[in-house]
Amino acid sequence: MRQAATVLAVRTPGPGLHEITRDVAAWAHGQGMAAGLLTLFCRHTSASLTIQENADPDVRRDLEDWVARVAPESPGYRHQDEGPDDMPAHLRSVLTGVQLSIPLLDGRLALGTWQGVYLFEHRRRPHRREVAMHLLGE
């Protein structure tokens, strides 16, 4: 059994689903393992990770609209230390989560045909986000 770990830096221009599949898959493939389990962990509380369809951009837009309706900006939140998008960003991250596990089969991520890995930025301004990646396999 072997393991490898790194941190992927992701620059986001603002809110939305930002696909990171290519970078994640390239790193995992480069570890030379045939089978294993990749864990991804977003090191932030106002951004999250999700696996979602990567073919039709309307899916991403609908998801972005949905989380905005479920956790809208509002002056009613107690926590607004960094502005009106602060607490809604935390709520949105709770909805989608900060960790993913993806099997590695035959040296490749076992994603379905239309699946992509996304960092979901929930803040309005650009950020530099970090995703810790850990691969355990052989």
CATH number of the domain residue 16 falls in: 2.60.120.460
Backbone phi, then psi, for 41, in 5-degree steps? Answer: -135, 120
- Residue 10: its pLDDT value, please? 98
Kindly report the CA angle at 30 between 32 and 4, in degrees rounded to 5? Answer: 75
- Residue 7: its pLDDT value, please? 98
CA 20 vs CA 10, 39, 118, 130: distances in Å: 8, 14, 5, 11
- Expressed as residue numbers, the domain containing 15 is 2-137
Backbone phi, then psi, for 34, in 5-degree steps? Answer: -90, -35
Residue with tokens 């930002």: 18
If one counts the domains in the chain, the total is: 1
Question: What's the pTM?
Answer: 0.96
- Residue 87: its pLDDT value, please? 97
Two tokens, residue 83? 């502005």
Two tokens, residue 4? 């490898």
Residue with tokens 């609209």: 65
User: Amino acid identity, residue 126?
Assistant: P
Tens of each residue's pLDDT in the chain, 138 residues: 999 999 999 999 999 999 999 999 999 999 999 999 999 999 999 999 999 999 999 999 999 999 999 999 999 999 999 999 999 999 999 999 999 999 999 999 999 999 999 999 999 999 999 999 999 999
User: Amino acid identity, residue 43?
Assistant: R
